[in-house]
Amino acid sequence: MRTTVPVIIAFLSGFVMILAFFFNPEKSFIGRLEPEVLAWVTIVGGFTLLLGVVSIVRVNFTAVKRRKENWPYKLATLISIFAMAIPAILPSSWSPLLGTGTGSIYDWLFNYLDAPMMSTMFAMLAFYIASAAFRAFRARNAEATLLLVTATLVMLWRVPMGEAFLKSIHGDLPQYINTYIMGGANLAVQRGIIIGAAMGAAAMSLRIMLGIERTYMGK
Amino acid sequence: MSFVEHLQIWIAAFFMLSLFSFLYKDNPFYKLAEHIFAGLSAGYYIGLVWHAVILQTMINPMIQDGKWWLFIPGLLGVMMFSRFFKGFHWISRYSLAFVMGNTAGIFLLSELHGKVIPQVQATMRSVDPSQGFGGLLLSVIIITGVISTLLYFYFSKEHKGLLGGVAKLGIWFIMVSFGAHFGYTVMARISLLIGQVQFLIFDWGGSIQQIFF
């Protein structure tokens, strides 16, 4: 009951999607099932996201309640969650500040707090990437040298001053980087990785549907 | 600039500087900004899920289009919360099994039909002798790169002899690709950094100039 039923559900819900692929959605009920089941997955997936947020609230609330270390910061997290979520959930017909439309509290918090902080977080990675590169990019062997040379060439190629420098070495060098590194070696490796990962994902999907892979149930 | 506009710029600048302060060392300003950022991001998802999923995909079709059966995925979603109750957490397996099985069914076909076959097809079709020496060289690079990369990730046989040689070539190709990706990532991050610095200099600096000078 606790293990067999989920395996049957997993098989049937996957099998429906495979079956629907082979049927015409305009002429058969099974074909029309595909968008319907996708909507079901979207709904359950949405609740999964909410589950994550509820979990964050529980963890932080417990920490604040028990006055654990750094609890004022956790209180700030809780206040931020509710400040963003409550006005978003309330209907915009009550006030233009509610809902998620332009001019709402949700929109304002996103534009002036969330988005700038997100960009700053990513921008800060520039410093850490540079620091990591300084430590990792040492021409100790052929592989590391290839990594170093390619990264340097691409970084130079992506800025006008660097491109001018590359052109001063050889007029067609930027074009060669674009064609043979980005459109050649890089493309080939990406294709190899995509093919390998896709085959792995397909194999894993089959394992899940057949009930061989049950780690998602904690088994 | 109005008072509200000044306030918006100053708040954004304060939190940006607080986050940047971590480059020196961990400090209370960074911690506060980090926790607020985490909270806002979580709150953002609540708003997004509420409107795009619960209202638009579930409640509105149930009320307006009479799709009463949409209460079933809603129920499956609510069952996910049983994870918080000891002794009942197994109930969430039903919802999880539905999502996992469904995603597996979609992936099984889409990965093979939408990725493996088109990528192999594009690799085979890259051979074009009419493009001259440059085109031929590119075809050789692509085909050799794809095969050697795939063989590098083949671990069922020890990388010795011919397989070892091809796998070695594969890792050279992979290093070139990682280098190219690294270069791209660095430039994207620096571009973001330039944007943030421009905001601080022009927007926040402009606001300071208007208020104090």
Distance (Å) from the C-alpha of residue B183 to the closest C-alpha of chain A? 5
Are B90 and B43 members of one domain? no
Residue B86 pLDDT: 85
Are B141 and B187 members of one domain? yes
Contact B180 A54 (CB under 8 A): no
- The complex's ipTM works out to 0.84
Nearest to B100 among A57, A113, A216 (CB): A216
Residue from A51, A39, A40 nearest B80 by CA: A51
C-beta separation of A50 from B46 below 8 A: yes
Q: Is B88 on the interface with A (CB under 8 A)?
A: no
Tell me: pLDDT of A204 over 70: yes
Are B140 and B207 members of one domain? yes
Contact A82 B43 (CB under 8 A): yes
Residue B167 pLDDT: 94
C-beta separation of B84 from B96 below 8 A: no
Are B145 and B206 members of one domain? yes
Residue A195 pLDDT: 95
Count of domains in chain B? 3
Last residue of one domain, picked from the residues B66, B97, B113: B66
Q: What residues of chain B lie within 8 A of the CB of A185, using their CB?
A: 141, 145, 173, 176-177, 180
Are B92 and B167 members of one domain? no
- When pLDDT is averaged across residues A116-135 and rounded to a whole number, the result is 86
pLDDT band at A179 (very low <50, low <70, confident <90, very high): confident
Q: Is residue B72 part of a domain?
A: no
- When pLDDT is averaged across residues A17-33 and rounded to a whole number, the result is 86
- When pLDDT is averaged across residues A180-201 and rounded to a whole number, the result is 93
Residue B28 pLDDT: 94
Are B141 and B209 members of one domain? yes
As a whole number of angstroms, the distance between CA B48 and CA A35 comes to 21
Domain ranges of chain A: 1-89, 137-219
Nearest to B58 among A43, A114, A152 (CB): A43
Q: Is residue B76 part of a domain?
A: no
Contact B193 A184 (CB under 8 A): no
- When pLDDT is averaged across residues A35-57 and rounded to a whole number, the result is 92
Residue A219 pLDDT: 65
Category of B172 on φ-ψ map: left (φ > 0), alpha (ψ -120 to 50) or beta: alpha
Tell me the per-residue pLDDT of B26-67, one tens digit each, with 9 for 90 and over. 999 999 999 999 999 999 999 999 999 999 999 999 999 999
Contact A76 B36 (CB under 8 A): yes
Nearest to B111 among A114, A157, A198 (CB): A198
Q: Is residue B75 part of a domain?
A: no
Lowest mean pLDDT among A81-85, A130-134, A185-189, B90-94: A130-134
Lowest mean pLDDT among A19-33, A77-91, A96-110, B100-114: A19-33
Distance (Å) from the C-alpha of residue B213 to the closest C-alpha of chain A? 25
Nearest to B150 among A11, A143, A195 (CB): A195
Are B132 and B164 members of one domain? yes
Nearest to A143 among B45, B52, B175 (CB): B175
Residue A216 pLDDT: 83
Distance (Å) from the C-alpha of residue B209 to the closest C-alpha of chain A? 20
Q: Is residue B173 part of a domain?
A: yes
Segment B6-14 long-range contacts (CB within 8 Å, at least 24 positions apart): B6/B207, B6/B210, B6/B211, B8/A108, B8/A112, B9/B203, B9/B204, B9/B207, B10/B204, B10/B207, B11/A112, B11/A113, B12/A112, B12/A113, B12/A116, B12/B199, B12/B204, B13/B199, B13/B200, B13/B203, B13/B204, B13/B207
Contact B80 A89 (CB under 8 A): no
Boundaries of domain holding B41: 1-66
Residues 6 or more apart whose CB falls under 8 angstroms from that of A92 comprise A98, A99, A100, A101, A104
Lowest mean pLDDT among A147-151, B59-63, B203-207: A147-151
Residue from B48, B58, B36, B55 nearest A88 by CA: B48
- When pLDDT is averaged across residues B175-189 and rounded to a whole number, the result is 89
Residue A23 pLDDT: 87
pLDDT band at A88 (very low <50, low <70, confident <90, very high): very high
Are B7 and B41 members of one domain? yes
Tell me the per-residue pLDDT of B123-152, one tens digit each, with 9 for 90 and over. 988 877 777 888 888 899 999 999 999 999
**Which residues 47-66 of chain B have a CB within 8 Å of chain A?**
47-54, 57-58, 61
Tell me the per-residue pLDDT of B79-118, one tens digit each, with 9 for 90 and over. 999 988 888 888 999 999 999 999 999 999 899 999 999 9
As a whole number of angstroms, the distance between CA A115 and CA B94 comes to 36
